[in-house]
């Protein structure tokens, strides 16, 4: 991890999505900006897995969908493989999109119930101009083998499969165009725990064999830690901490990250309640009206006056460990 | 006598494919002040067990095909609806799996709490209001008195779940059945709700039956645990024992396949295959097709739940052998 880093496969700068939503009472309706994602800078290196965690509504899916241009950004830029794809038109985008695909959470909703598995997996090929011929069918066979489904699955329909098998179909479809980069948006959250492990292992095998790069979005911090190289923590549309997964779990710097980790139940009943010391109270505030200054200040146990007025910047503390928290400013000045 | 005694309970559903047993031969007790965890994957029969105890399954299609439920010595199975209604709420109350569908969207949360109390106790409007504020306060809704007039849609998911708890606890039940009380919640809110459940148990001496598919939630809350698989109890043990010396291969599998924050593992130990649907259960042990310890004998009969040590039972014909082998390793 020393020396000059190669150019990242994906680079986000100031990426922002504000949804226009109706708000107010019946008579005084007005449009407000819902700040779903608000100025995110991130880099993902080729071949790595970046985990993305944070509470419901913090903007993880919106970020993932903007990257593959399913959602138009309000501001900021997306550079993929050296090309700024933020404002490419549909025609030019199509070629680049081959390189980036998405796997969704819900293996039930994401697949068209009237299509056979073969049609589902082949569809992206056809959209990109391939013909429905032997070559395409052979490619489907390859994909079935790759994700561990029997060849006879090709003529069956999604409802004939269990959740885990459906997720395999979703992964096969995402990989059929040979992408380099995959957004995995909660790919195992809807699965039974005994099946989750099968899919996590499959994603890891595929990454190793095909040299894939992942943005892995999940609620479950343990799964994210298992699969990721680095982890980014989001809160109300912003990234508050990024680091190597071991650093972020062993020595979380941001009070929000600390609280998230402390809240994860431990599988050791003798140590129960260990996290109680660092509980945060209250709920995540609304993205329609995020708190001033540091967005976490309303729930932060260490809040200081400056936190209410100034938004902290994401800044390095140790090598490769970025934190957006005013407590870090103090540590810097204490050291100096 | 335990607070709740469930004996040989079997609940069947009438379906197109004939009658199927959603849960089968369920036997367990809950003592006063005890937290019993029920863990199992989707479709294993956790909710059906809870709803049968509460007498809340529509019959038909459901039918209690065998067994009984006794609460404080009174038999609930077959009890008349008016008598059951009196027990629900004041004796046993339940928090349901889906918070949004079980709060009534057209009534304020204050009205919903007061209505529950009114149905079970004589109280003046003033007392009802005080109780509602007290309960909301207890479950950690800030400025409770001001929130009485809020409608469910004005609350966040975590707040709704806490209002559900406030309603369930309003009549100070002896037993609270909480069906996946935290599944829809973020970890930080989940931790708050679990802390709250434990505090309420300590304060009121209420027993809790907590249903979840999350082993972590069990580890944080339960005194004793039932593990369910495909409609049957496969293992039952005090919580520390279950986590430290699991006997059933399914329980072991469940504990091994979830990654933890503490350890680094290269690869997760997945359980192959998936849970069988009720109509397609294999003969013999239902876990056998997925079990790496299976032998031919596993396919022949349903393994009985056998107590290997006092309080620790498992339904695996090789339990003792597996325990010895793993203990020796
Ligand atoms: N199409 C839309 N229109 C308006 N608001 C939206 C839209 N999509 C998302 N939002 C809002 O943007 C915010 C971020 O949503 P997003 O789905 O990205 O969150 P998330 O982190 O993926 O949450 P979860 O963990 O629940 O999936 C939320 O407040 C959400 O309500
Ligand atoms: N009304 C019904 N009619 C027919 N079958 C039913 C009905 N309700 C439940 N079942 C079946 O009973 C079995 C047990 O269901 P139950 O809801 O108890 O599972 P669970 O363990 O609570 O799962 P989850 O974790 O998904 O909530 C399932 O196979 C389900 O399909
Ligand atoms: Mg999402
Ligand atoms: Mg259920």
> Cα B261 from chain centroid?
25
Tell me the pLDDT of chain B averaged across its residues.
89
Q: Which of A228-237, B89-98, B164-173 has the highest mean pLDDT?
A: A228-237
Nearest CA in chain A to B215: A267
Q: Which residue has the higher pLDDT, A29 or A66?
A: A66
What pLDDT is stored for residue B122 in this prediction?
87
Per the structure block, which two tokens stand in for B126? Answer: 């003033």
Domain count, chain A: 1
Q: How many CB atoms lie within 10 A of CB B142?
A: 12
The distance of B213 to chain A (nearest Cα, Å) reads 8
* Backbone φ/ψ region at B199: left (φ over 0), alpha (ψ -120 to 50), beta: alpha
Say yes or no to pLDDT of A8 above 80. Answer: yes
Say yes or no to pLDDT of A108 above 80. Answer: no
Using the CB atoms, write b or e for A84-95: b if 16+ within 10 Å. ebbebeeeeeee
Say yes or no to pLDDT of A194 above 60. Answer: yes
Say yes or no to pLDDT of A334 above 60. Answer: no
Tell me the pLDDT of chain A averaged across its residues.
88
Q: How many CB atoms lie within 10 A of CB A45?
A: 16
What are residue B62's phi and psi, to 5 degrees? -85, 160
CATH of the domain at A319: 3.40.50.300
Segment A151-163 shows an average pLDDT of 87
Beta strands in A45-93 (DSSP E): 49-53, 75-80, 83-84
- Within a domain: residue A104? no
**Looking at the whole model, is its pTM more than 0.95?**
no
- Within a domain: residue A121? no
Say yes or no to pLDDT of A336 above 70. Answer: no
Nearest CA in chain B to A54: B186
| Residue linked to tokens 């325990």 | B323
Q: Residue A306: enclosing H or E segment and its boundaries?
A: helix A305-309
Rounded Cα distance, A283 and A298, in Å? 9
Contacts of B267 in chain A (CB under 8 A): 201, 204
Contacts of B192 in chain A (CB under 8 A): 279, 281
- Residues lining ligand 1, Cβ inside 6 A: A 19, 21, 34, 36, 54, 56-62, 219, 287
Say yes or no to pLDDT of A333 above 60. Answer: no
Per the structure block, which two tokens stand in for A208? Answer: 């190793």
* Ligand 4 center to B183 CA (angstroms): 10
Q: Are B204 and B122 in contact (CB under 8 A)?
A: no
Where would I find the H helices in A211-279?
221-227, 245-250, 255-263
Per the structure block, which two tokens stand in for B36? Answer: 């019993």
Per the structure block, which two tokens stand in for A73? Answer: 């950004």
Rounded Cα distance, B257 and B273, in Å? 13
Say yes or no to pLDDT of B175 above 50. Answer: yes
Rounded Cα distance, B222 and B235, in Å? 15
Q: Which residue has the higher pLDDT, B141 or B176?
A: B176
Say yes or no to pLDDT of A331 above 80. Answer: no
Contacts of A225 in chain B (CB under 8 A): 259, 261
- Assign B320 a pLDDT band (cuts: 50, 70, 90): confident
Per the structure block, which two tokens stand in for B246? Answer: 């699991």
Q: Please report, rounded to a whole number, the percentage of residues in chain A having pLDDT higher than 90.
A: 60
Rounded Cα distance, B305 and A229, in Å? 43
Q: Which of A187-191, A305-309, A326-330, B186-190 has the highest mean pLDDT?
A: A305-309
A235 strand-pairing partners: A238
Contact call for B257 and A267, based on CB within 8 A: no
Contact call for A221 and B187, based on CB within 8 A: yes
- Within a domain: residue A159? no
Interfacial B residues in 183-242 facing A (CB < 8 Å): 186-192, 194-195, 198, 213-217, 219-222, 239-240
Q: Residue B52: enclosing H or E segment and its boundaries?
A: helix B46-54
B61 cis-preceded (ω within 30 degrees of 0): yes
**Structural domain boundaries enclosing A254:** 10-99+179-265+274-335
What are residue A235's phi and psi, to 5 degrees? -140, 120
Contact call for A226 and B268, based on CB within 8 A: yes
Spans of all domains in chain B: 32-55+80-222, 245-260+269-328
- Within a domain: residue A151? no
Question: In ligand 2, which atom is closest to the CA atom of B41?
Answer: 25
What pLDDT is stored for residue A291 in this prediction?
94
Q: Are A118 and A139 in contact (CB under 8 A)?
A: no
What are residue A103's phi and psi, to 5 degrees? -115, 125
pLDDT in tens, B43-92: 899 999 999 999 988 888 899 999 999 999 999 998 888 888 888 878 99
Q: How many CB atoms lie within 10 A of CB B114?
A: 24
What's the maximum distance between 2 C-alpha atoms anywhere in chain A?
68
Beta strands in B61-127 (DSSP E): 62-71, 74-75, 92-95
What pLDDT is stored for residue A27 in this prediction?
63
Segment A279-293 shows an average pLDDT of 84
Nearest CA in chain A to B43: A192
Q: Residue A30: enclosing H or E segment and its boundaries?
A: strand A30-44
Q: Closest Cα to atom 10, ligand 2: which residue?
A: B22
Q: What is the CATH number of domain B32-55+80-222?
A: 3.40.50.300
Segment A105-132 shows an average pLDDT of 86
> Cα A274 from chain centroid?
28
Rounded Cα distance, A61 and A56, in Å? 10
- Within a domain: residue A127? no
Contact call for A267 and B272, based on CB within 8 A: no
Closest partner CB to B265 (pick from A56, A226, A264): A226
| Strand bridging mode A49-53 / A213-217 | parallel
Q: Closest Cα to atom 18, ligand 2: which residue?
A: B45
Q: How many CB atoms lie within 10 A of CB B288?
A: 20
Say yes or no to pLDDT of A255 above 50. Answer: yes
* Ligand 2 center to B308 CA (angstroms): 30
Counting ligands in written order, the one closest to the CA of A185 is: 3
Collapsing DSSP to helix, strand or coil, A308 comes out as helix
pLDDT in tens, A18-50: 998 876 555 666 788 899 999 999 999 999 999
- Assign A66 a pLDDT band (cuts: 50, 70, 90): very high
State how far the alpha carbon of A113 is from the alpha carbons of A101, A153, A169, A176, B275, in Å: 21, 14, 12, 19, 22
Among A52, A44, A40, smallest CA distance to A14 is for A40
Q: Which of A13-17, B131-135, B275-279, B309-313 has the highest mean pLDDT?
A: A13-17
Least confident range from A4-8, A107-111, A119-123, A214-218: namely A107-111
**Count of alpha carbons within 13 angstroms of residue A262, beta-carbon side:** 20
What pLDDT is stored for residue B269 in this prediction?
87
Say yes or no to pLDDT of A314 above 70. Answer: yes
Rounded Cα distance, B301 and A194, in Å? 24
Taking CB atoms and an 8 Å cut-off, how many pairs form between chains A and B? 132
- Within a domain: residue A115? no
Say yes or no to pLDDT of B263 above 90. Answer: no
Closest partner CB to A261 (pick from B190, B261, B269): B261
Question: In ligand 2, which atom is closest to the CA atom of B278?
Answer: 29
Rounded Cα distance, A140 and B244, in Å? 45
Q: Closest Cα to atom 29, ligand 2: which residue?
A: B43
Contact call for B268 and A200, based on CB within 8 A: yes
What pLDDT is stored for residue A280 in this prediction?
79
Helix axes B125-138, B157-169, angle to 10 degrees: 130
Contact call for A272 and B219, based on CB within 8 A: yes
Rounded Cα distance, A188 and A105, in Å? 7
Interfacial B residues in 96-115 facing A (CB < 8 Å): none
Counting ligands in written order, the one closest to the CA of B40 is: 2
| Residue linked to tokens 């989707």 | B42
Rounded Cα distance, A155 and A160, in Å? 11
Rounded Cα distance, A216 and A237, in Å? 17
Q: Which residue has the higher pLDDT, A233 or A28?
A: A233
Least confident range from A4-8, A293-297, B252-256: namely A4-8
- Within a domain: residue A260? yes
Q: Which of A155-164, A188-197, B35-44 has the highest mean pLDDT?
A: B35-44
Q: Are A13 and A180 in contact (CB under 8 A)?
A: no
Say yes or no to pLDDT of B266 above 80. Answer: yes
What pLDDT is stored for residue B98 in this prediction?
66
- Assign B181 a pLDDT band (cuts: 50, 70, 90): confident
- Stated length of chain B: 329
| Residue linked to tokens 């980036």 | A100
Say yes or no to pLDDT of B103 above 50. Answer: yes
- Best residue for ligand 1 mutational test, from A61, A67, A183, A220 (most atoms within 8 Å of Cβ): A61
Segment B235-242 shows an average pLDDT of 96
Contact call for B191 and A275, based on CB within 8 A: yes
Helix axes A163-175, A193-210, angle to 10 degrees: 20
- Assign B101 a pLDDT band (cuts: 50, 70, 90): low
- Within a domain: residue A295? yes
- Residues lining ligand 2, Cβ inside 6 A: B 13, 15, 22, 40, 42-48, 61, 97, 213, 278
């Amino acid at each position: 991890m020393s020396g000059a880093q190669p150019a990242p496969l994906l680079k986000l700068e100031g990426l922002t999505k504000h949804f226009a939503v109706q708000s107010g009472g019946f008579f005084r309706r007005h449009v407000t900006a819902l700040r779903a994602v608000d100025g995110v800078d991130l880099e993902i290196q080729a071949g790595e897995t970046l985990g993305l965690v944070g509470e419901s509504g913090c903007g993880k899916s919106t970020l993932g969908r903007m990257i593959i241009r399913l959602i138009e950004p309000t501001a900021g830029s997306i550079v993929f493989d050296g090309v700024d794809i933020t404002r490419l038109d549909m025609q030019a985008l199509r070629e680049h999109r081959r390189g980036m695909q998405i796997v969704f959470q819900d293996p039930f909703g994401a697949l068209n119930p009237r299509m056979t598995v073969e049609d589902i997996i082949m569809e992206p090929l056809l959209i990109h101009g391939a013909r429905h011929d032997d070559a395409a069918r052979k490619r489907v066979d390859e994909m079935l083998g790759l994700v561990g489904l029997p060849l006879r699955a090709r003529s069956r329909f999604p409802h004939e499969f269990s959740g885990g098998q459906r997720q395999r179909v979703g992964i096969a479809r995402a990989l059929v165009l040979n992408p380099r980069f995959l957004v995995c948006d909660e790919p195992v959250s809807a699965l039974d725990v005994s099946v989750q492990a099968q899919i996590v292992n499959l994603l890891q095998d595929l990454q190793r064999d095909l040299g894939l790069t992942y943005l892995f979005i999940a609620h479950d911090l343990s799964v994210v830690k298992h699969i990721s190289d680095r982890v980014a923590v989001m809160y109300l549309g912003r990234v508050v901490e990024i680091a190597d997964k071991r650093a972020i779990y062993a020595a979380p710097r941001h009070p929000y990250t600390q609280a998230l980790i402390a809240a994860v139940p431990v599988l050791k009943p003798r140590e129960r309640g260990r996290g109680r010391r660092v509980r945060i109270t209250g709920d995540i505030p609304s993205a329609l009206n995020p708190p001033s200054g540091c967005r976490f200040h309303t729930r932060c146990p260490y809040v200081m006056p400056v936190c209410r007025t100034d938004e902290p910047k994401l800044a390095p503390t140790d090598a490769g460990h970025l934190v957006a928290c005013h407590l870090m400013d103090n540590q810097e000045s204490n050291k100096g | 006598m335990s607070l709740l005694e469930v004996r040989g309970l079997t609940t069947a559903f009438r379906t197109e494919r004939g009658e199927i047993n959603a849960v089968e031969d369920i036997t367990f007790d809950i003592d006063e002040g005890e937290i019993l965890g029920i863990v199992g994957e989707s479709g294993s029969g956790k909710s059906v067990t809870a709803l049968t105890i509460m007498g809340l399954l529509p019959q038909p299609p459901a039918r209690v095909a065998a067994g009984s439920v006794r609460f404080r010595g009174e038999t609930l199975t077959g009890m008349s609806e008016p008598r059951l209604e009196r027990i629900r709420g004041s004796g046993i109350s339940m928090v349901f799996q889906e918070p949004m569908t079980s709060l009534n969207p057209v009534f304020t949360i204050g009205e919903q709490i007061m209505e529950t109390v009114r149905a079970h106790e004589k109280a003046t409007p003033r007392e009802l209001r005080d109780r509602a504020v007290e309960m909301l306060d207890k479950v950690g809704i800030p400025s409770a008195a001001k929130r009485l007039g809020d409608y469910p849609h004005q609350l966040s998911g975590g707040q709704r779940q806490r209002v559900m708890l406030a309603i369930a606890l309003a009549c100070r039940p002896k037993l609270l059945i909480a069906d996946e009380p935290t599944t829809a919640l973020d970890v930080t809110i989940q931790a708050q709700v679990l802390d709250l459940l434990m505090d309420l148990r300590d304060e009121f001496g209420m027993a809790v039956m907590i249903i979840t598919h999350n082993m972590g939630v069990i580890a944080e809350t339960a005194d004793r645990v039932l593990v369910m698989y495909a409609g049957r109890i496969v293992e039952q043990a005090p919580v520390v024992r279950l986590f430290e010396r699991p006997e059933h291969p399914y329980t072991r599998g469940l504990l091994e396949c979830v990654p933890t924050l503490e350890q680094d593992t290269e690869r997760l130990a997945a359980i192959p295959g998936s849970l069988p649907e009720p109509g397609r259960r294999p003969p013999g042990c239902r876990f056998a097709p997925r079990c790496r310890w299976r032998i031919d004998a596993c396919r022949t009969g349903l393994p009985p739940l056998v107590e290997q040590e006092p309080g620790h039972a498992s339904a695996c014909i090789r339990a003792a052998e597996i325990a010895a082998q793993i203990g020796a390793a």
